[in-house]
Structure 1
Amino acid sequence: MISFRTTISKLNKKLPLQLAAALLAGSSLLASLLGIFRDRLFNSLYYITYPTGADAYTVAFTIPDFMFIILVSGALSVSFIPVFNQRLTSGNKKSAWELSTSIINLMALATLVTSILIIIFADPLVRYVVGPGLDESSRSLAVSMMRVIAVSPFLFAVATVITSMQQAVGRFAFFALAPALYNVGIIIGLLFFTNGIKIFGWQVFDGGIMGVALGVVLGAMLQLVVSTFGLFGMGFTYTFRIYWKNKGFRQVLRLLPPRSLDQGIDYVNSIVETNIASRLLAGSVRAYQQVQSLTYVPINLIGVAISTAAFPRMTERMAEGRPDLFKSELQQVLRVIIWLTLPVTVLAILGRGYIVNFIVNGGDPYMANILAVLAISIIFRSVYFISARSFYAQQDTRTPLYISLFTIALNITLAVWFTLGLRMGVQGLAWAAVIVSIIEVSVLFTIMSRRIKGLFDAPFIHAIGRMASAAGFTAIVTYASVAVLPLSSTDQRLFDSAPKFILITAISFTVYLLFCHIFKLKEVRPVISRIQKILFKRPEIKDESNKHS
């Protein structure tokens, strides 16, 4: 019988880039599917029947998420991992463990203080910052839920440092599993906590939408617990101390503020969008957030997963002094991300009615109209992650910050102008986000192309052109498929609409692969080769001539 420790050790093995990217994409898919089920369950309970309550729940997330992102999130991973890698590569494990334990303790202390402040000032934060347009009862509900959810940044902070250590050394199993468990916690809250909680027959919680907030805290706890399993076999020793004199720790502290500010300023978009949406039709906050979540499914599956898996390798190339290998790997990752996101973007725009139907029973035209616009940003937001990480791999966190300062100001200006000035409603938020995503990626790569000569050479540009052509032919076929198989009023249940959408998706991707093959794109070769092996594999003939000899 295989022991628990042996199983953990096998899961904690270092993975090659392709396998790591596949694992992260698979786990992201699992988390996304759970997220779709979570959202569909929530919407069936509250969005349709209690839109103001759904808005309150969405508003309650904004400030805790903002504080986690500005203090920890991506800021920690991109500043901590390169420095941590340097210590391990040089064989200085003592310094690496001191760095890790210092970051854990610092982040835990910072987020604990932040959580307490959110609990104290929840009312003015909702009233004046994120939910000024809510009615009094919805505002009161948002305040109560925010005070419960405020516990999660502390739990997430510790889990993020632990998973960043694993990511740095190529351990992705538990790092990949953690987000799925977060959704499991919220689903438990929806299925059970909303009905009330009894302990030994004593009613300790009456239930209702506040049960979802408790599920958020449970999900954060599950994520922290599972992330600790990834530490097995690393030799890490935790101490309740901050090593202020550790050079690596001080280096991370120097790199952290620009990236934290970059992340925080970027999230100001969400705060402004929530503030504006709360002034629009009831349910607008929830609708816009839901569509954003839908667009982030492929962004996480493709852009985040591939960039996360590639980032440690990119930092190693720069540490080795091999900018030539850095350039070739950046080109390869860029091509793959663009190649994968083009057909997804086409499908999201043209099949938006089906996609929204997955999270709202019977669909929702309001959300579908938002998705028609916001889907354009899928390709650019996916590319953004690798474009920003190309700077972080060079330990340059300032350039993306300066670019973010400009694009955030532009986004806020456009959002206010489109929604309140031009009266475009919630679609104005979507158009502002799309325009800014295009500009931000364009500026980042313009600067990077000056640092790395020949980054966008003729072969690369020609390849992207062929991908766009293949996507264009795919759009024609997808449009025709949706016209032949429209979402009808009888497709109320998920099981009624899913077969149609699966068929449309299969047709669209088959056409895309076919044209990519015709245009001789190298990205399609492994896929075509795999399909040929599956469809045309010859059965093995057993040699029984010597069976009885």
Structure 2
Amino acid sequence: MAFSGNDKHTSLLGAGAATALATLISRVVGLARDASLAAMYPKEITDIFWAAFRVPNTFRNLFGEGASSVAFIPTFTRVRKERGEEQARALLNAVLRAVALATGAVTLAGVLLAPWIVRALLDFPPQLDSESLHQDAVHLVRWMFPYLILACLAAVIGGALNATGRFFAPAMTSTYFNLSIVLFSFLAVTTTAVHPAWLAVGVLVGGALQVATQLPSLWRAGFPLGRLRGWWTTPGLGDVFTLFFPATLSLGVKQINTLVNTNLASALGTGPISYLFYADRVAELPLGIFGFAIATAAFPRFSQEALEKAEEAIRKPLIQSLKGILLVMVPSTVGLWILGGPILDTLFNRGRFAAQGGLEPTLLALRVFVLGLVPFASVKLIGNLSYSLGNGRAPVVAGLASAGVNLVLAYSLRYTALGHAGLALAVVCASVVNMGGLLVCLRTRVRPAWFLDLVPLALRALAASAGMGVTLLAWIHWSHALPSWSVAALGTVLGGTVYCALGALLFREQLARVIRRRG
């Protein structure tokens, strides 16, 4: 059975809007989660928890992103078009079994090797009770490693739903995950002494919810889970693994960057891991709602158009998506730079976080992270295009180059006046290198001349953002007597209004297209 008309003509921006709405809900709940943890737990515990969580989460990014977004969707799309729904259903079930076996083996190894993993990951300075901190981290890693299995199964199911034009349910899974952690963090405070083990239980329950909440949508899409004999011989499974290994290598480079920076941050004492994490979470708010949503919605479209092998079929969704990224990420950079203080004060400056003086160092890291919003979103989009074209080499080469830049800059900048913000700057610079490397590697399929269409729009977006920035600076000056939440909320509305008004003068057609969610 071929693709239906609805699948073929799904609006790119409409799909992005569905993803953006669900992601907005998820990000708001996620920020509530982070705010509650920052207020209730001392930074020593949040440092350990976030560092320990990064271990299974790193493997989730490797296997989940590699198996679903990168390797699974293009193959699933091709099998569904060429072989029909029955073979696509068989491929989905086969990939789920393969992922369960692979992640189960990794989980077992991770539980056994947890002490050595933690030793490599964390490097607390000697003035702290490092042995006790390491033991707590080992226990948390062992508790949370099974989350890897659940999260990767959820990622594959979400990839299948995205490939069939269903974006809302997969994007909502993070909301249920965040709600679970919030619930168990409150249970920890109300029933016993504050202990991070409750957070680990919340992670596991959240992972189970990520799988369970997608199953109804999967059944409605005509892809129920079932038994499959000889699943390892299913047509298309080998193609998934062919794309999976270079994808894993490429994504692994990114995860190594994260682990290296976590290690370097831990050596700066207690606090920097949490400062960087909270700053990254706020910076990811527009990135997740708009930037990654656009890339997620574009990936199935890229996979479909790549089958046609028509240059124009690739150019149009790519340029359209990049224009959407510019229109949203440029003003988001300016807005978060100026309103970052009131936003962080509203979210985190209470309880233990306020008592331990975490606001200023988190704001410094946030202002560095937001400089990378455009390249962060572009790397996700162009990387997805590369895999849709069957080019697994480009992300690997670009990723290795960016890893080298991150490593050199992170080691060079961490003990400068920037401190932990130097690690954030290394991430931003590495992302710029990654974006440039992808474009160089794809120059035979993605022609440089295409990007000339973006220059006028980029300049106009910068002009409109500059006007918005001047307005927000005046607002910050005149609203200093107001509470932080009203400064942040009203400033966001004011900035958005000014940007849209200037946009109506400078790029009316593109702005109207985004607002109407039409492609």
The question of a shared fold, defined as TM-score above 0.5 by the shorter chain, is answered with: yes
Deviation readout 1:268-302 (Å, 9 max, x if unpaired)? 11101110111113111111111111111111111
Give the superposition deviation at 1:251: 0.8
Return the structure number with greater helix share. 2
The residue type equivalent to 2:135 in the other structure is S
> CA contact under 8 A between 1:101 and 1:242: conserved in structure 2?
no
Supply the distance in 2 between the matched residues of 1:235 and 1:454 (Cα, whole angstroms). Answer: 40
* Alignment correspondent of 1:145: 140
Asked if the contact 1:185/1:215 (under 8 Å) is kept, the reply is yes
Partner of 1:517: 504
Deviation at 1:130, TM superposition (A): 3.3
Choose 314-323 or 216-225, whichever is displaced more. 314-323
How many residues are paired up? Answer: 500
Moved more, 422-431 or 307-316: 422-431
Identity of aligned residues (%): 24
Residue in 1 aligned with 2:303? 315
Quickly say closer, same or farther: Cα 1:306–1:68, change in 2 above 3 A. same
The match for 1:222 is: 209
Q: CA deviation at 1:119?
A: 1.6
The answer as to 2:104 corresponding to 1:112 is yes
d(CA) in 2 for partners of 1:401, 1:121: 27
* 1:156 Cα offset (Å): 0.9
Q: AA paired with 1:148?
A: W
Instruction: Confirm or deny that 1:427 pairs with 2:414.
Output: no
Residue 341 (str. 1) matches residue 329 (str. 2): yes
Look at both structures and tell me which one has the larger radius of gyration over its CA atoms.
1
Spell out the pairing of 1:49-128 with structure 2 (5 A cutoff).
50-128=42-120
Counterpart contact for 1:174–1:229, Cα < 8 Å: no
- Superposition pairs for residues 143-542 of structure 1, below 5 Å? 143-196=138-191, 208-233=195-220, 234-239=222-227, 241=229, 243-362=231-350, 364-420=359-415, 422=416, 424-453=418-447, 455-456=449-450, 458-486=452-480, 496-526=483-513
RMSD: 2.3
The equivalent residue for 1:533 is none
CA change 1:460–1:189 in 2 (3 A) is same
**Which structure is richer in relative contact order (CA contacts within 8 A, separation 6 or more)?**
2
Verify the 8 A CA contact 1:307 1:389 in the aligned structure 2. Answer: yes
What one-letter code is carried by the residue in structure 1 that aligns with 2:435?
A: V
Please report how far the alpha carbon of residue 445 of structure 1 lies from its aligned counterpart in structure 2 after TM superposition: 2.6
Unaligned runs of 5+ in 2: 1-6
Tell me the amino acid that sits aligned with residue 448 of structure 1.
L
Using the TM superposition, name which of 333-342 and 168-177 deviates more. 168-177
SS of equivalent residue, structure 2 residue 231? coil
Report if the CA contact (8 A) 2:398-2:437 is conserved: yes
Measured against aligned partners, the alpha-carbon deviations of 1:141-164 in whole angstroms (never above 9, x if no partner) come to: 111111111110011121111111
Cα deviation for residue 194 of structure 1 reads: 4.4
Decide whether the 8 Å contact of 1:28 with 1:301 is kept in 2.
yes
2:450 counterpart SS class: coil
Larger mean CA deviation between 442-451 and 243-252 belongs to: 442-451
Name the CA shift for 1:308/1:528 in 2 (closer, same or farther; >3 Å): closer
Q: TM-score, normalised by structure 2?
A: 0.91
Change (3 A) 1:528 1:179: closer
What's the offset of the Cα at 1:76? 2.8
Please give the TM-score of this superposition, normalised by the length of structure 1.
0.86
Distance 1:528 1:423 in 2: 42
* Larger displacement relative to structure 2 (467-476 or 161-170): 467-476
Matched residue type, 1:476: V
Q: Which runs of 5+ in 1 are unaligned?
A: 1-11, 197-204, 531-549
Amino acid at match of 1:463: L
